[in-house]
């Protein structure tokens, strides 16, 4: 029994740590790609807000995509700010996926208590995103 628990914990640690590693690498690469495009093209991709980093201080405006849809449409047009935002979105999404992944591991381990706990945590996360929008309405 004891040996089993150790083995399960080992798998959990392995799966989670490799997920964390890859989520960090992917978001860092996407954000870096966005920065490189921003520097080389001298353009955020959003109207007048052109920023030439290498030319010193140039005024920027706060025009950037703030919805998932606008991020994706911006990427299709190779807008540097949209690419950076995609990397940021990957970063924000990774804890959500992390909790889902944990739930999957607990289900597989037949750990009912922690399956329940991680499911409730995931529900809380969804509520925390939806609730402020509801209250504002």
| Interface positions with other proteins (CB under 8 A) | 5, 9, 12-14, 16-17, 20-21, 23-24, 27-28, 31-32, 34-35, 44, 51, 53-62, 64, 66-67, 81, 84-85, 87-89, 91-96, 98-99, 102, 113-114, 117-118, 120-121, 124-125, 127-129, 131-133, 135
Considering the complex, state which of residue 95 and residue 104 has its C-beta at the smaller distance from other proteins: 95
Which helix (H) or strand (E) segment is 51 a member of? Answer: none
Q: Measured from the CB of residue 47, what is the shortest distance to other proteins in angstroms?
A: 14
Considering the complex, state which of residue 77 and residue 128 has its C-beta at the smaller distance from other proteins: 128
Q: Measured from the CB of residue 98, what is the shortest distance to other proteins in angstroms?
A: 7
125 Cβ contact list (under 8 Å, min separation 6): 95, 96, 99
Q: CA separation (Å) from 13 to 45, 59, 120? A: 41, 46, 21
DSSP code at position 43: -
Q: CB of 45 within 8 A of CB of 78?
A: yes
């Amino acid at each position: 029994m004891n040996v089993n628990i150790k083995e399960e914990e080992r798998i959990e640690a392995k799966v989670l740590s490799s997920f964390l590693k890859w989520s960090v690498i992917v978001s860092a690469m996407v954000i870096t790609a966005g920065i490189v495009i921003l520097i080389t093209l001298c353009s955020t991709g959003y109207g007048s807000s052109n920023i030439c980093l290498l030319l010193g201080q140039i005024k920027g405006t706060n025009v950037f995509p703030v919805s998932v849809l606008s991020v994706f449409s911006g990427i299709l047009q190779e807008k540097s700010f949209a690419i950076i935002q995609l990397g940021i979105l990957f970063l924000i999404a990774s804890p959500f996926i992390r909790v889902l992944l944990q739930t999957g591991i607990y289900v597989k381990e037949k750990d009912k208590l922690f399956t329940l706990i991680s499911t409730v945590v995931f529900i809380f996360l969804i509520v925390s995103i939806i609730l402020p929008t509801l209250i504002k309405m």
